[in-house]
Amino acid sequence: SEEYQKERERIIEELKRMQEETWQKLNEYVEQYSFGIVRIPGGFMLTPVVKGKPLTDEQFEKLSDEQKEKLRQIRTMLTEQVEKTMRAMRQMERDTRKKLAELDERVARFTIQHPIEELKEKYRDIPEIPQHLDAMMEDMVAHAEAFKLPEEQPTPVPPFVLGAPTPIDNFLNRYRVNLLVDHSEAQGAPVVYESNPNFANLVGRIEHRVVMGALVTDFTMIRPGALHRANGGYLVLEAISLFQRPQAWDALKRALKEGEIRVEEYAQSLGLVSTAVLEPEPIPLQVKIVLSGPAWLFYLLAEYDEDFLELFKVQADFDDRMPRTPEAIQEYARFIATFCEREGLRHFTPEAVARVVDHSSRLVSDQRYLSACFRDISDLLTEASYWAGQNGHDLVTAADVQQAIDEKHYRGNRFEERLQEAIAREILLIDVTGARPGQINGLSVLPLGQITFGAPSRITARTYMGRGGVVDIQREVKLGGPIHSKGVMILASFLGSRYAREEPLTLRASLVFEQTYSMVEGDSASLAELCALISSIGDVPLRQNLAVTGSVNQHGDVQAIGGVNEKIEGFFDACRLHGDLTGDQGVIIPAANVQHLVLRADVVEAVAAGQFHIYPVRTVDEALALLTDLPVGEPDEQGEYPPESVNGRVMAALRAMNERWKALAKGEEEEEESKP
């Protein structure tokens, strides 16, 4: 301002006046002794003066020794006076600089105090902001000189440092505010979803810029993370994505346990940085973390991470299915209508909605439940709307929904088609007519990506005299899993408990899934394996037009299994591959699985027409009654079975093997005794 400039000029002029007066007095004092003060590059020099002119060296040499000594003494005395005067003048300069600094401070404080006070009043509810503003004002006052405009043009920036900040920019950076998060337009607590929860995206990062080949940074290059954005609200993370990022889980736990966010570089957190780096002040953290993921991951963390249950105390276990009630079906219909409206799809007819509901039950393999995995349902709605358009329908019909289901299955069933081709060409041997002892059609389920299908497998059993029990060939060659091996051991226990109460079993048997070259796991074939064993022991033919699935316990009770729909459909398709349905073909299933039946329309139609059959059983005897032309047989009071029953034949065969074993053992003993 003009007032500032006048005051500054007055102070400077006062200094000049005082210095001139002091200099003038010094000259007058020196002249009294016929000396003068001469300026030289290094300062000042005292020299004798004769008739107003400095004494030359030649003139000085012509003087007597007494005159020379006197001049030296005077010079020494005057030198002390000159130095004293010079010190006084330097003190004047210091005093003047102090006055100028006080002027600058006074003017600077007056200039910035009003806006600073306005800001302090505006943000008085946040104690840290007035404190920061006070500190900033004191710093600006202390560095008021730096705010003055340069009187000369700045030095041009060399080409190799173009892009680097200017000195004034560097200085002004100290007063800039690095706004990490802005919630000024938020209506409530922030809810943040972080799809890429790596270390930097969680706790923030410190960016750098290249200046003359070196990486430099400052506090304005601190960037926030998801924890900063969600502070005071909620942060939603996907657990699997979190654990796929190195150090992300540890960083999140550290922030939650300490209640603060520390912005640091990833290498620094690993202790790999030995150079000086920025260490921003930790920010207090108050956030609720919503961690979503599969149930198995929750149980794994609860078991092996001691901090997990301490940090995540509330568990919300969402089911993937819901009861199939009228209310739920109504909600499903509303969901379909809402989804179609939102996505711009064709709306569904009531029959199409019913078909979607049935397919939802099929997804969970249960008549009494509906799928809660709406991603799969949404995909079906989208594809059904597409096929409705291809078929020229304004509304999506049940046929369009079925076409969408069939097309999705077709896109992924290449392996199923190859398997069916192998059955049709008799490369994979499956009998669907006739009867054979020790051979039965088991059923298995093969999940491949989005497609799950069933297929029949020939199971054979061979029995002969011996003491080895039941040999699981799959297990012996390491192609059988532990659950399958458990099922085979249960079979041996059942045989012993039913047929070896009076005499030991002199039986050796082998079981195998024919033409299988991969791992066999599960106990859903144990009923079929037991029937095959009993058939082989008693030489009782088993009907090949029936397939069997089900688990069995040591008491002979048939237990529920999974994939019952796919297994039934797999054998149904195998029967059709061998020609038309004969009317006596079907599948034996556990009675407990009836509630899980949600079959394809063609299978339902064939069953309704009597061309295909589904037989629910509760015990192994019920299954044997269906598989053989003989009665199973019940024991009398002596524990004997009718001779022409399945159990009677088995008992007779086992007794014959036992007698033969005894005879062989007795013959060996007599032979040993007859030896000399």
Are residue 285 and residue 327 in the same domain, yes or no? no
Going by C-beta distance under 8 Å and a sequence separation of 6 or more, which residues neighbour residue 501?
639
Token digits for 519? 């791992």
* Exposure on the CB side of residue 670, measured as CA atoms within 13 A: 6
Stretch among 10-14, 166-170, 274-278 having the lowest mean pLDDT: 166-170
Token digits for 63? 């003087």
Q: Which amino acid is at 659?
A: E
Are residue 431 and residue 352 in the same domain, yes or no? no
Structure confidence by residue, pLDDT tens digits, 140-198: 888 877 776 655 445 555 544 555 556 666 777 888 888 889 888 888 899 999 999 99
Q: Which amino acid is at 51?
A: K
| Burial degree of 508 (CB within 10 A; 0-12, 13-18, 19+) | middle
What residues pair up with 586 in beta bridges, in sequence order? 546, 613
pLDDT band at 449 (very low <50, low <70, confident <90, very high): confident
| Strand positions, DSSP E, 86-160 | none
Please give the average per-residue pLDDT across 79-99, as a whole number.
86
Model pLDDT, residue 34? 77
Q: Out of 118, 141, 160, pick the residue that ends a domain.
A: 118
Annotate 363-375 with three-state secondary structure.
HHCCCCEEECCHH
| CA–CA separation, 650 and 568 (whole Å) | 30
Are residue 489 and residue 553 in the same domain, yes or no? yes
Stretch among 227-241, 266-280, 567-581, 589-603 having the lowest mean pLDDT: 266-280
Which of 488, 458, 456, 665 has the alpha carbon at shortest distance from 569? 456
| CA–CA separation, 379 and 475 (whole Å) | 41
Q: DSSP character for 148? A: S
Are residue 360 and residue 449 in the same domain, yes or no? no
Going by C-beta distance under 8 Å and a sequence separation of 6 or more, which residues neighbour residue 52?
none
CA pseudo-torsion sign 247, 248, 249, 250: positive
| CA–CA separation, 481 and 543 (whole Å) | 28
Model pLDDT, residue 660? 86
pLDDT of 612 strictly over 70: yes
Structural domain count, the chain: 4
Model pLDDT, residue 527? 94
- CATH classification at residue 375: 1.10.8.60
Residue in this structure with the two tokens 């100028």, named with its chain if needed: 100
Q: What angle do CA 519, 525, 528 make, to 5 degrees?
A: 135
Size of the chain in residues: 676
| CA–CA separation, 152 and 626 (whole Å) | 109
* Exposure on the CB side of residue 344, measured as CA atoms within 13 A: 0
| CA–CA separation, 53 and 125 (whole Å) | 77
Please give the average per-residue pLDDT across 47-68, as a whole number.
73
Give the catalytic positions in this structure: 524, 567
Specify if 466 maps to a domain: yes
Specify if 149 maps to a domain: no
Are residue 113 and residue 256 in the same domain, yes or no? no
Please give the average per-residue pLDDT across 28-35, as a whole number.
80
Is residue 647 within 8 Å of 530, Cβ to Cβ? no
Model pLDDT, residue 674? 66
Specify if 136 maps to a domain: no
Are residue 259 and residue 378 in the same domain, yes or no? no
* Element (DSSP H or E) covering residue 292: strand 288-292
Stretch among 264-268, 455-459, 567-571, 648-652 having the lowest mean pLDDT: 264-268
Please give the share of the chain, as a percent, with pLDDT higher than 70: 93
Helices (H), 391-509: 398-412, 414-424, 473-476, 482-499
Is residue 8 within 8 Å of 103, Cβ to Cβ? yes
Number of Cβ within 10 Å of residue 445's Cβ equals: 19
Provide the CA 370 distance to its chain's centre, in angstroms. Answer: 28
Specify if 171 maps to a domain: no
Specify if 384 maps to a domain: yes
Residue in this structure with the two tokens 């690993």, named with its chain if needed: 270
Token digits for 306? 């001691």
Look up the domain containing 631 and give its range: 418-657
* Element (DSSP H or E) covering residue 318: none
Collapsing DSSP to helix, strand or coil, 543 comes out as strand
Model pLDDT, residue 160? 46
Are residue 602 and residue 480 in the same domain, yes or no? yes
Are residue 438 and residue 487 in the same domain, yes or no? yes
Model pLDDT, residue 158? 55
| CA–CA separation, 595 and 601 (whole Å) | 17
| Strand positions, DSSP E, 195-250 | 205-206, 209-211, 214-216, 222-223, 234-238
Token digits for 673? 């005794």
Helix crossing, 2-31 with 65-122: angle to 10°? 170
Are residue 70 and residue 41 in the same domain, yes or no? yes
pLDDT of 626 strictly over 90: yes
Annotate 402-436 with three-state secondary structure.
HHHHHHHHHHHCHHHHHHHHHHHCCCCCCCCCCEE
Collapsing DSSP to helix, strand or coil, 338 comes out as helix
| CA–CA separation, 598 and 566 (whole Å) | 10
* Element (DSSP H or E) covering residue 631: none
Specify if 603 maps to a domain: yes
Are residue 454 and residue 573 in the same domain, yes or no? yes
- CATH classification at residue 533: 3.30.230.10
Q: Out of 311, 339, 356, pick the residue that ends a domain.
A: 311
pLDDT band at 482 (very low <50, low <70, confident <90, very high): confident
* CA end-to-end span of the chain: 138
pLDDT band at 443 (very low <50, low <70, confident <90, very high): very high
- CATH classification at residue 222: 3.40.50.300
Are residue 499 and residue 576 in the same domain, yes or no? yes
pLDDT averaged over every residue in the chain? 87
CA pseudo-torsion sign 186, 187, 188, 191: negative
| CA–CA separation, 73 and 387 (whole Å) | 120
| Burial degree of 103 (CB within 10 A; 0-12, 13-18, 19+) | middle
Who wins on pLDDT, 295 or 80? 295
What separation in angstroms does the CA of 79 have from each of 55, 66, 74, 106?
Answer: 17, 20, 8, 40
pLDDT of 138 strictly over 60: yes
Q: Out of 311, 338, 355, pick the residue that ends a domain.
A: 311
Specify if 289 maps to a domain: yes
Who wins on pLDDT, 503 or 602? 602
CA pseudo-torsion sign 153, 154, 160, 164: negative
Residue in this structure with the two tokens 């400095």, named with its chain if needed: 54
Specify if 43 maps to a domain: yes
pLDDT of 268 strictly over 80: no
Are residue 559 and residue 651 in the same domain, yes or no? yes
| CA–CA separation, 529 and 461 (whole Å) | 7
